[in-house]
Amino acid sequence: MAKSSKQVVLLVGGSRGIGRQVAIDLAKAGYAIVVAAKSTSNAYDNSKPFPPDPNSPQSTISTVVREIKEAGGDAAEVTVDVRDFASVEAMVAKTIEVSPNCSLSTSSPGLRHQKKDIRTDRCARLQLGRHLACLPHFEANGWKARVIVVSPPIYSRFFRGKTAYAMGKVGMSILTKGLAMDWTREGKKDMAITSIWPASAIESGATREESIRHDLRKASKTIYSDAILAMLRAPAQDVNGLIDTDEDYLREREGVTDFSKYSLIPGTTPRRIMPAEFPDLTVAEQDDEGNPFFALLRIMTTETKLPTAVPPRRIRMTGMRMAQTRGGKRECSWWSSSTNGYTFA
């Protein structure tokens, strides 16, 4: 893809399924797309049908890029293994090389692994790593960017029967809330991170059973894409930190009342898999920085000189872990998950 004057979207996990359709729909809407995932192929192999089944292994970032280009859009492919942070950093570097003005990022990677514990915290850590890799570029562009994360609203029923999976997905939602709070506190008014989740099941490789087709929304021209497009076009302050479903966002923010066009089988009304209402996570002390000790910790990561009230002999920083020591003895340690966020380790 030649350097484009269009807004550029880095879409992670766009090789097949819903991610592929989002890539195609965003390209039709006028965005240039950098499609990133593990799977590649020879998209111009005439011995294989084209386009391939969008939910099959034959659909790769290579075939998606070809589909976009043949429809008149701009696209490029970048190979990435989201389980490897070095690969993620390389993905970001290649994206910037292809398109320095990339300011939009969406993510829908499907992780598959033989071990059941793959989804406990890896999803959240991988999302954090990807965003950290993007931050220097966002800063170079004047902190003007949008990030869309595929993760659910936080509510108790989501945990039932799938604890490990829920830990990963809800961790990603916490990342959305945490980064949004940091960007607001830091005055980054043109930055926004938003989470989206389907209100009803969408046709994909995971929903092939004939018995549930009446409860599915179609994969082509999806409600998901329409909601993401609306989120990307909304003012940053309206969507920063928002965690919403596709249907609820379109209904409440865009005024959509008829969702029948999204049904896989015409005339059916797919069953809603999400609650009708979600709990409000805010508290009366929402903007309270809390104990002065935590405010001091925030200062210690942004100031080269420490306040005279607390004169430790040295501050030791290793990666994201920082420990205050006096006389060589560690007194406390904590993790900083972003510029100014803290929890005790």
pLDDT in tens, 203-229: 887 787 889 999 999 988 789 999 999
DSSP string spanning 55-114? TSTT--HHHHHHHHHHTT--EEEEE--TT-HHHHHHHHHHHHHH-TTEEEEEE------S
181 within 8 A of 202, measured Cβ to Cβ: no
In angstroms, what CA-CA distances link 233 with 104, 135, 223, 229, 278? 11, 21, 16, 6, 24
pLDDT of res. 336: 38
φ, ψ of residue 301 in degrees (nearest 5)? -90, -10
Overall fold of domain 8-262: Rossmann fold (3.40.50)
- Taking only the tens place, the pLDDT of each residue in 179-205 is 999 999 999 999 999 999 999 999 887
Write down the pLDDT at residue 291: 62
Tokens 């993760």 belong to which residue?
Answer: 151
Contacts 24+ apart (CB under 8 A), 289-296: 294/342
Give the model's pLDDT for residue 337: 37
Furthest C-alpha separation in the chain:
74
Domain ranges of the chain: 8-262, 292-344
List the chain residues with pLDDT less than 70: 1-4, 100-128, 290-345
What pLDDT, on a 0 to 100 scale, did the predictor assign at position 186? 93
